[in-house]
Amino acid sequence: MVKPSTSLRQWGPLIPILILALLMRIGYMPGVGFSIDMQFFSQWALRVYQGGLFNLYKDAPRREGTWHWLLPGLLAIYPGLFALSASWGQTDSVLTLLLVLALIALNRDRPLVAFALFAVAILTKFQAVILLPLLVTLTFCRYGLRKLLLGAAISAIIVVAVLTPFIAASGLQNTLRPYLGTVDTYPLVTISAYNPWLLVTQLAHTDRYFDNMPEIGPLTFKLIGLALLGTYTLLICYAAVRQSQQRREFIWAAALYFGFFMLPTQIHERYLCMAALLALIAVAQDRRMWWVAAGLALTFSFNVVNLLDQPLHWLGVVIWPRTTVAPVAVLNCALLIELIVLAMWPSYSVASRAHRLLLKANRIVAVVALLAFVVGLTIESATYHGTVAWLEQHVAGWEHLVSDSAAAEIVAQSNADRAAEPWTWRTERTVEKKEVGGWLGDGNHYLLVDERADHSQPFEQL
């Protein structure tokens, strides 16, 4: 009897997992989860078709046992990945895959391969640069200066070789624009990211809090955020230096990317993808990471779903956007503190008594934030159901109504309840950009708005 090879035994379970993941995502392919980004992607594809590929920028860890199938299985059904990749159509999962491969190479004592994969990652998305301090630190501590310089040379050769044809066709400045020209595109403290800066916007009662205004003397929130990120990165790299011979690459990488999401300004919601997925894989290196990974699965998935143009259909459950976001930002703060402790100390026994007390207090805050989140969702659901009930009592059949995309749940529920005498709904991303008289002139008799409407718009004055 011929026994299956070791490679087949190790990687065989991945085949049905990949098939399952593909089948669960096929239904999203015809739809558009986030129309704005899809329009950009379509423009890029059209530009490549019309002008050629190189003119694109011319005008613009190892563990045995159940980990082999458990972690890939969880990734296959990860709700945040469904929302971000299959529904939205974003490409952050491609970057995360390259980061994971680079970390696996580093874990298996192949630093040169890690640098080569890092080069491909940086060519994919500039956010890969967050991994560079850890890659440099561990390579130098484990393998010496010679391997570090050789790895840097390999990365440089790959990057230059790939970018050279683009530079020849599109010019140096245009080719480097995705790396150098995207900062300050949206000079806001947060761009829909549920991090500490979201709490600043909520205290200021505005969604558009600019980060380039002096706040503490001459310091802007942008400079403060960059200083926090720089200090935090040094802290994580210091932990990596102290424990460089331990195989904790995914824990430190998750910590770096979580800090990148939480500390600087101008962060998008999807930037949590790398930290969330790396934290899940890091469970294989430290089982204490389960709590962080589970918490990030919740906050990352909720953050992304709230930006979709349509609800997420996941494992037979319809997940709608919600406005209870402040508890999620607080929960992310608590998760960051937990992850810092895990990154700094390989076991709780090593930490001081003061650190353990801080950890207990932090977990109490996390539980309170989670309870507030659940209560908020319950109240929101009751409010939406009450709105539908009011509409059904006061609006006649066959009427024309207007709502913004945030009210999609109300629209869907009313359509299901009024199949015999349906209403005609018109859904816009922001209904307040048009005066009430304009909607009435179009034959719409009801305008559905909520507290998220922009109070500076003309219809608020009527």
The answer on pLDDT for 16 being more than 90 is no
235-254: pLDDT as tens digits? 999 999 999 999 999 999 99
More confident residue, 230 or 440: 230
Mean pLDDT of 406-418: 81
CA distance linking residue 56 with residue 166, whole number of Å = 7
| pLDDT confidence of residue 392 | 86
| pLDDT confidence of residue 414 | 83
Cβ density class 347-358: b for 16+ within 10 Å, e for less: eeeebeeeeeee
Question: In sequence order, what DSSP letters do the residues of 149-206 get, joined into one string?
Answer: HHHHHHHHHHHHHHHHHHHHHH-HHHHTHHHHS-TTSS-BS-BB--SHHHHHHHHTT-
Non-local CB neighbours of 442 within 8 Å, separated by 6+ positions = 426
Report the Cα 332 to chain-centroid distance in Å: 12
Mean pLDDT of 297-308: 93
| pLDDT confidence of residue 424 | 87
The answer on pLDDT for 350 being more than 70 is no
177-211: pLDDT as tens digits? 888 877 888 899 999 999 999 999 999 988 889 99
CA distance linking residue 380 with residue 246, whole number of Å = 46
Least confident of 45-54, 267-276, 347-356, 416-425: 45-54
Residue 132: which H helix or E strand, with range? helix 132-170
55-113: pLDDT as tens digits? 655 554 444 456 667 888 888 889 988 888 888 888 899 999 999 999 999 999 999 99
Question: What angle (nearest 5°) sits at the alpha carbon of residue 218, between those of residues 212 and 220?
Answer: 30
Mean pLDDT of 38-62: 57
More confident residue, 80 or 456: 80
| pLDDT confidence of residue 63 | 46
Do the Cβ atoms of 100 and 204 come closer than 8 Å? no
3-state DSSP call for residue 447? Answer: strand
| pLDDT confidence of residue 374 | 95
Of the candidates 318, 284, 330, the one whose C-alpha atom is nearest the C-alpha of residue 409 is 318
CA distance linking residue 41 with residue 28, whole number of Å = 17
3-state DSSP call for residue 427? Answer: strand
Q: Inter-axis angle of helices 221-242 and 326-344, to 10 degrees? A: 30
* Averaged pLDDT of the chain: 85
142-161: pLDDT as tens digits? 999 999 999 999 999 999 99
Do the Cβ atoms of 114 and 135 come closer than 8 Å? yes
Q: Inter-axis angle of helices 249-262 and 132-170, to 10 degrees? A: 60
Of the candidates 345, 449, 447, the one whose C-alpha atom is nearest the C-alpha of residue 407 is 449
Give the pairing of strands 400-404 and 317-319: unpaired
Least confident of 123-132, 271-280, 399-408: 399-408
Q: How many CB atoms lie within 10 A of CB 19?
A: 11
The answer on pLDDT for 328 being more than 60 is yes
The answer on pLDDT for 461 being more than 60 is no
- Longest Cα–Cα distance of the chain, Å, equals 83
Mean pLDDT of 3-27: 67
Reported pTM: 0.82
Query: Residue 260: what residue type?
Result: F
Do the Cβ atoms of 13 and 66 come closer than 8 Å? no
More confident residue, 451 or 455: 451
- In terms of Cβ atoms closer than 10 Å to its own Cβ (0-12, 13-18, 19+), residue 315 is exposed
**Structure confidence at residue 340 as a pLDDT band (50, 70, 90):** very high
Non-local CB neighbours of 234 within 8 Å, separated by 6+ positions = none
Q: Where are the domains of the chain?
A: 55-378, 395-461
The answer on pLDDT for 449 being more than 80 is no
